């Protein structure tokens, strides 16, 4: 019997998660996770959103490792592309392809271009996070494929799937197949299975709690004296903390 914490979020729930930016989702996640919210889950190295106009993306991680500088991989497994695509197509979506580039810190070629992004979009993928490069940026945007990467580049070199459906390390963060990914121009959050089912509800609560207390107090402070403003903000902060404690108990994160 499936445990409630093991269920996949519905497409409707994932679409709702995309209505918040990744910092807002982080605020919800830190209340429910047993991970260290100060160190875990999010990228600790800088990444760049090359399609910020597309807004946030939310989906499940599929993983692949590449080494574009190494032509030997094509000889070692000439069927890798076909096998890898079947892996991607076998999984439920929406999917986000998380790519570890073994060439780093150098960049020799891109796994992504107009053709590969179009194929992955057809297989139910909505975007990628890669610590390598992307190219054909205008075409990728036309396809509707979100791209978060280290940089742009001109060529594809010897891009070839090396291994897939495995743990990868990107931007200082471990990502596992099936992790729930939320990502935007701020970076990304990789949510473990045990935290996924409660993520949307917690994000809703934390966003509403901020709006009803601290944000409202700050925006309504016009015309107050400094002392009146500070008292109002102090009271709002206390109310915010009380609401959070009532919801998550004394062990909720700040």
Q: Which residue's entry shows tokens 């205008």?
A: 138
Mean pLDDT computed over 17-44: 96
Percent of the chain with pLDDT over 70: 96
Task: Kindly report, residue by residue over 163-192, the tens digit of the pLDDT.
Answer: 999 999 999 999 999 999 999 999 999 999
pLDDT at 181: 98
Whether residue 207 has pLDDT greater than 90: yes
pLDDT at 254: 45
Q: Indicate the burial class of 194 (C-beta count within 10 angstroms; 0-12, 13-18, 19 or more).
A: middle
Which distant-in-sequence residues (6+ apart) come within 8 Å of 107 by Cβ? 101, 132, 133, 150, 151, 153
Query: How many CB atoms are closer than 10 A to CB 93?
Result: 16
Alpha-carbon dihedral angle through residues 6, 7, 8, 10, given to the nearest 10 degrees: -160
Task: Kindly report, residue by residue over 88-129, the tens digit of the pLDDT.
Answer: 999 998 999 999 999 999 999 999 999 999 999 999 999 999
pLDDT at 251: 57
pLDDT at 222: 77
CATH class of 36-191: alpha beta
Query: How many CB atoms are closer than 10 A to CB 185?
Result: 17
Q: Where are the domains of the chain?
A: 36-191, 200-248
pLDDT at 1: 40
- Assign 146 a pLDDT band (cuts: 50, 70, 90): very high
User: Full-prediction pTM beyond 0.85?
Assistant: yes
């Amino acid at each position: 019997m499936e445990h409630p914490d093991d269920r996949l979020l519905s497409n409707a729930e994932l679409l709702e998660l995309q209505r918040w930016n990744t910092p807002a989702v982080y605020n919800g996640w830190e209340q429910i996770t047993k991970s260290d919210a100060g160190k875990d889950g999010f990228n600790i190295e800088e990444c760049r959103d090359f399609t910020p106009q597309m807004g946030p993306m939310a989906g499940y991680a599929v993983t692949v490792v590449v080494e574009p500088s190494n032509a030997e991989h094509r000889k070692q497994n000439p069927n890798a592309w076909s096998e890898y695509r079947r892996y991607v197509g076998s999984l439920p979506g929406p999917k986000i392809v998380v790519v570890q580039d073994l060439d780093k810190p150098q960049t020799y070629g891109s796994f992504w271009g107009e053709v590969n992004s179009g194929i992955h979009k057809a297989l139910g993928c909505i975007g990628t996070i890669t610590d390598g490069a992307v190219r054909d940026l205008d075409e990728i945007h036309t396809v509707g494929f979100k791209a978060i990467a280290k940089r742009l580049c001109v060529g594809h070199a010897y891009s070839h799937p090396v291994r897939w459906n495995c743990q990868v390390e990107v931007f200082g963060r471990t990502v596992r197949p099936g992790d729930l990914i939320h990502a935007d121009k701020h970076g990304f959050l990789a949510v473990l299975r045990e935290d996924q089912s409660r993520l949307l509800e917690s994000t809703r609560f934390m966003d509403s709690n901020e709006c009803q207390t601290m944000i409202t107090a700050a925006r309504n402070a016009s015309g107050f004296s400094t002392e009146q403003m500070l008292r109002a903000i102090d009271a709002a902060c206390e109310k915010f903390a009380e609401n959070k404690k009532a919801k998550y108990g004394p062990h909720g994160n700040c």
